[in-house]
Structure 1
């Protein structure tokens, strides 16, 4: 991803140069045009170029579109081709590649028709840049090679250097580093012919990237420093920032952390200066634009002051009524929603209370049934109790040995109890205290607010056993900062 970002910045630099070049008029005009129309389209084009250089691409698009409409109405195909190329550049910057390719295609057709070879080469180069980003390398090679041939014929070293650089970018992104290196060197040679320092800086930066990819530390760092020196020479903060970042990345790649950190810090400082400068320029521009708009607005307000004064009170009254109606509607809607939700919650609460009541009744019935069975067993155990049945199939011994709250009975009881108090047993586990199964049964019956006698009757044990079990549980709880069993029970149910 960093390589793609760097490639996009470099192509952006190329685009800036291409925009300036495309504003030149190539050849003779195919149709006469009045002086006022020429002036309007020229002014709009210049304003679009200025917005492009400042990075206000949406404003540039508006100006170029207006200029194109003026030129198209006049029928001047040469200027139409130039503006279409500019529109393609702006659309590309706005990441609308579909619209950009449409503009480039139409510009190339008009350039070829009117014999504007240089513009045709520039348009083909621009198309190849988008195709490169879309990873359509074959078509990108085809268009860029055609552009290279055109620039060779026209003997345009600057344009040829840009095309060579673009060809190297295509090869590098496709993973072919050796051909990329060759084209970067060709771009460097063309830049040297015309002493094009910024182009040389770009070429050295690309060479540094390729050398680093090939693991050639010495050449990668040499090319990086050449790029940085040339960037300082042309006094371009953007180029200086890129050169510093390239050196930082390469030193980091070759495991020289101190140098990598040093250049990264300098890169960060320059980036900060660039951002502050851009913000200052944008602020000045917006302030100027705002001043013009305010001036126009004042003039318009003065012209319409009488009419506004006559209708002001009525407008205010209507606005207030509408605002009150809207507010009343939203208040009514809000209150309706609250009432509806309140009814829903009340209904849910009522249903929950009824369900709990039913479950409690079921549990109480179950406990009463167990108590009744236990009383029968106690009577059977007494010497003067109920006489055993004479039915031979009725085994009294087996009944006497049957214990209330066997594992199966306890499990059934727990299911019913958990339906009413779902968090009871989980809270015991969460407390982290090792409570035995017998102590849990005592806690369950205490939760049902039964006394010791009733507990003993239900569990089939003596009241002394119940008290002993509660005492053991109390000592265990006191060791864990609970003063009583009731306090621990309150923690469970809270």
Structure 2
């Protein structure tokens, strides 16, 4: 365990240099996240491993064409983490809810929306029936909202976004980056439904928080600015 903890320290130092020196979707940043995932998996922290794999996969989606060999390695890592989850986690433990929601996000990123919904619903069922942080439920609501948004079921997506936002606004500081994530999701929804004033209002909130709290090279900063420009041109 100690060796993996030390490895994480060195990977983190390297990653910080990459974030400053490289553009946000550079393949080396994906490789860095894969290194994190491998360490977390060996340490038994499957939630953190899945989150790192999601970040790697998002970068690869923006960098590589479909069918690039880089994806096969990431898919293989996903499989290893799933096996670890199955063997080592009690079915009703609160952490399983987080893990299911992360697995749902992976399926959403891959376009497997029905599977994504199934995992998110399983997550919510656990989170609503065992003692867990309201913020964990909020994250699952938002993940469900984003899945429905990508399925173009905008009214259902809005319902879940609003549930998640209500909890986060109650529990977090007004300039917390997790609020910016929801505002950005809402902005994309309103852009899709051609409610441009609401879209602009939400994306401005996301951009303002990101400018205050995140590095200028952070992937969220880039995403928020891209969405802002899309809305501004409408």
Structure 2 counterpart of 1:147: 123
Q: Could you tell me how far apart the structure 1 residues matched to 2:50 and 2:215 are?
A: 26
For this pair of structures, how many residues does the alignment match?
207
Structure 1 counterpart of 2:31: 58
Q: Could you tell me how far apart the structure 2 residues matched to 1:211 and 1:244 are?
A: 16
Deviates more, 1:204-213 or 1:104-113: 104-113
Task: Extract unaligned runs of 5+ from structure 2.
Answer: 20-27, 61-70
Deviates more, 1:44-53 or 1:203-212: 44-53
What TM-score do the two structures reach when normalised by structure 1?
0.37
Name the structure, 1 or 2, with higher relative contact order (CA <8 Å, separation 6+): 2
What does 1:31-46 align with in structure 2 at a 5 Å threshold?
Answer: 38-46=1-9
Contact 1:81–1:110 (CA<8 Å) still a contact in 2?
no
Q: CA deviation at 1:90?
A: 7.0
| Equivalent of residue 117 in structure 1, options 94, 102, 127 | 94
Q: CA deviation at 1:250?
A: 1.0
Structure 1 counterpart of 2:146: 169
Structure 1 counterpart of 2:109: 133
Contact 2:54–2:106 (CA<8 Å) still a contact in 1?
no
1:191 pairs with 2:191: no
1:202 pairs with 2:173: no
Q: String of CA shifts for 1:134-190, please: whole Å, max 9, x gaps.
A: 322211101011122333433323333322222111111111111111111122112
1:232 pairs with 2:211: yes
CA RMSD in angstroms comes to: 3.2
Q: Could you tell me how far apart the structure 2 residues matched to 1:68 and 1:215 are?
A: 42
Contact 1:92–1:100 (CA<8 Å) still a contact in 2?
no
Report the structure number with the largest CA radius of gyration.
Answer: 1
Q: CA deviation at 1:48?
A: 4.4
Task: Extract unaligned runs of 5+ from structure 1.
Answer: 1-37, 72-78, 254-494
What TM-score do the two structures reach when normalised by structure 2?
0.71
Contact 2:94–2:132 (CA<8 Å) still a contact in 1?
no
Q: CA deviation at 1:227?
A: 1.9
Contact 1:45–1:64 (CA<8 Å) still a contact in 2?
no
Q: Could you tell me how far apart the structure 2 residues matched to 1:195 and 1:65 are?
A: 31
Structure 2 counterpart of 1:217: 196
